[in-house]
Amino acid sequence: MAIVDAKFRWRRNHRGVGKVLNGPAAIAILRAMGNRAAQAAGPGHTVTAGPGRNRARAVVRASTPEAWQSEKKHRTLTKALDHARRS
């Protein structure tokens, strides 16, 4: 067995990690997940996605009174979020 006598230094590049977490690829992935959740929840749901302070985010909202009532009574959007995570 050989012994390696080399020093290894690893430093995180916080700015680079922030660019990845807030970048267009992350936004596209989150928008796709949001669209899957909105489709699974049914009509009346809207998706917005964009950069956040530290990382990208997506929001799925019940945008009609019917969708809001369905979420209130049957938790359709909550169930659809589980579906979007698994897909």
pLDDT tens profile 38-81: 999 999 999 999 999 999 999 999 999 999 999 999 999 989 98
Q: Is residue 24 part of a domain?
A: yes
Q: Is residue 2 part of a domain?
A: no
- Give the domain extent around 64: 14-86
Q: Is residue 43 part of a domain?
A: yes
Q: Is residue 25 part of a domain?
A: yes
Q: Is residue 50 part of a domain?
A: yes
pLDDT band at 25; cut points 50, 70, 90: very high
Helix/strand/coil (H/E/C) assignment for every residue in the chain: CCCCCCCCCCCCCHHHHHHHHCCHHHHHHHHHHHHHHHHHHCCCEEEEEECCCCCCEEEEEECCHHHHHHHHHHCHHHHHHHHHHHC
Into how many domains does the chain fold? Answer: 1
pLDDT tens profile 6-21: 787 888 888 899 999 9
